């Protein structure tokens, strides 16, 4: 993967002083000086001598056609907004690479944060798996970002991840992986698939003892304008692995979702061992009266059943998200 094309540093404008994600010890990161005006990135230790300050990279508005892998810890990419700062690529399985290596941007180092950026893969639906973003970063946070692709758009590969007020576009398995990932107050938008079947999620838990899963909380599931509900069958997910776990809670589900709700992967594979659940969802596609009758599917009817899948419990968010300054709801 190419190194990131660092733009000349320019201090971003934030009303009311420093943004909330800048801790006092990190403030030197954003202070300008004669040296900073010539620097690609301005970095300063937090004064503790252990180098624990966050490394902030400001990516100005523009379209960056790159493939980026971020290996360092505690890196933050902050852009000028969705649709303004765009990092785009077009690697795909159809184009000869692997799903893992197709990611336009990948975060590996722990503590990664992205804010106000669009991550895009333009390979197109016909090229099959083509990842816009892959995260294997523990305690990674994505705030007001957009992930745009078709099949396998967002690869929540591993570790604890939190998404807030993000947009995720795709066709097949477009939120997938084996992280402990919570998407809160997000927009999940299904695009028109050439094979006429949409699956929003494909969670990859391989062992019942893994504390992983994809949790969709207080979000919206909608169809893009190009999706024809009459000719496309759309589902909340299908089991990529034997113990696939996905929960939709207090989410608005559009009427384009098939009444069965969930789609088998291959015959009876994983139908008894998966854990799929729905709790207090709304919208014309939220009725559970005609859902699948698999042993692993559950309609949760009480807050006590749903609470284990909240930000506070599922990813212990109350212990680490406050330090990021990103808003979150710890409970239901």
Quote the Cα angle for 149-152-155, to 5°.
105
Q: Minimal CA–CA distance to 253: which of 215, 282, 291, 290?
A: 282
Q: How is the chain split among helix, strand and coil, in percent rounded to 5?
A: 10, 35, 55
Q: What percent of the chain has pLDDT over 70?
A: 84
Q: Does the residue 22 lie in any domain?
A: no
In a domain, 26, yes or no: no
Of 261, 297, 300, 294, nearest in space to 276 by CA: 297
Q: What is the mean pLDDT of residues 216-230?
A: 96
CATH of residue 136: 2.160.20.10
Model pLDDT for residues 21-34, shown as the tens digit of each residue: 444 444 333 433 33
Cα maximum dimension of the chain: 66
**pLDDT tens, residue by residue, 282-311:** 999 999 999 999 999 999 999 999 999 999
Whether 261 is in a domain gets the answer yes
pLDDT of residue 41: 53
Question: What is the extent of the structural domain holding 84?
Answer: 52-324
For the annotated catalytic residues, the residue numbers are 173
Q: Report pLDDT for 266.
A: 97
Block residue for tokens 């690869």: 155
- Does a structural domain hold residue 245? yes
pLDDT, mean over the chain: 88
Confidence category of residue 263, pLDDT binned at 50, 70, 90: very high
CA distance 18 to 20: 6
pLDDT at position 11 over 50: no
Asked whether the predicted pLDDT for residue 38 surpasses 50, the reply is no
In which residue are the tokens 């902050």 written? 78
179 pLDDT higher than 80 = yes
Average pLDDT for 278-284: 98
Mean pLDDT over 192-197 rounds to 94
Number of other CB atoms surrounding residue 28 within 10 Å: 17
Phi/psi for 64 (5° steps) reads: -110, 110
Domain total in the chain = 1
Question: Which helix H or strand E contains 162, and what residues bound it?
Answer: strand 160-164
Task: Kindly state whether residue 260 falls inside one of the protein's structural domains.
Answer: yes
pTM of the model: 0.86
**11's tokens:** 């201090």
8 A C-beta contact, residue 21 and residue 76: yes
User: Is a pLDDT exceeding 90 seen at residue 19?
Assistant: no
Residue at 154 is within a domain: yes
Q: What is the pLDDT of residue 324?
A: 95
pLDDT at 42 over 50: no
Which has more pLDDT, 41 or 155?
155
**What pLDDT, on the 0 to 100 scale, is given for residue 26?**
41
Q: Which residues of 236-271 are buried (b: 16+ CB within 10 A; e: fewer)?
A: bbbbbbbbbbbbbbbbbbbebbbeebbbbbeeebbb
Give me the phi and psi of 325, to 5 degrees please.
75, 0
**Where does the pLDDT of residue 229 fall: very low under 50, low under 70, confident under 90, or very high at 90 and above?**
confident
53 band by pLDDT with thresholds 50, 70 and 90:
confident
Hey, what are 322's tokens?
């406050």
CA gap 182, 186 in Å, rounded: 10
12 in a domain, yes or no? no
What is the Cα–Cα distance from 55 to 288, expressed in whole angstroms?
46
Is residue 266 a part of any domain in this protein?
yes
Dist. CA 6–CA 194, nearest whole Å: 37
Listed in sequence order, the DSSP H helices in the chain are 303-306, 311-314
């Amino acid at each position: 993967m190419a190194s990131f094309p660092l733009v000349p540093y320019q201090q971003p404008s934030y009303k009311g002083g420093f943004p909330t994600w800048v801790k006092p010890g990190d403030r030197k990161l954003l202070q300008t000086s004669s040296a900073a005006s010539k620097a690609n990135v301005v970095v300063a230790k937090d004064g503790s001598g252990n180098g624990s300050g966050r490394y902030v990279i400001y990516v100005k508005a523009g379209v960056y056609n790159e493939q980026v892998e971020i290996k360092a810890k505690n890196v933050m990419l902050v852009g000028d907004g969705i649709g303004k700062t765009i990092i785009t690529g077009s690697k795909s399985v159809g184009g000869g690479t692997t799903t893992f290596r197709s990611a336009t941007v990948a975060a590996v180092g722990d503590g990664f944060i992205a804010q106000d950026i669009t991550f895009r893969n333009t390979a197109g639906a016909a090229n099959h798996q083509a990842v816009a973003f892959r995260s294997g970063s523990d305690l990674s946070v994505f705030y007001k970002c957009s992930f745009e692709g078709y099949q396998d758009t967002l690869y929540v590969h591993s570790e604890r991840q939190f998404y807030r007020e993000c947009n995720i576009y795709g066709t097949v398995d477009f939120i997938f992986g084996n992280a402990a990932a919570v998407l809160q107050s997000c927009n999940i938008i299904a695009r028109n698939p050439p094979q006429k079947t949409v699956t929003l999620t494909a969670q990859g838990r391989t062992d019942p003892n893994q504390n992983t899963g994809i949790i969709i909380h207080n979000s919206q599931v909608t169809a893009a304008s190009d999706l024809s509900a009459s000719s496309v069958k759309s589902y909340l997910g299908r089991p990529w692995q034997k113990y696939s776990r996905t929960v939709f809670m207090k989410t608005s589900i559009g009427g384009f979702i098939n009444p069965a709700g969930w789609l088998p992967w291959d015959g009876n594979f994983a139908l008894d061992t998966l854990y799929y659940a729905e709790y207090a969802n709304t919208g014309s596609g939220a009725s559970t009266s005609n859902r699948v009758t698999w042993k692993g599917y559950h309609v949760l009817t009480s807050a006590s059943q749903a609470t284990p899948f909240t930000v506070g419990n599922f990813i212990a968010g109350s212990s680490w998200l406050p330090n990021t300054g990103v808003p979150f709801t710890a409970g239901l």
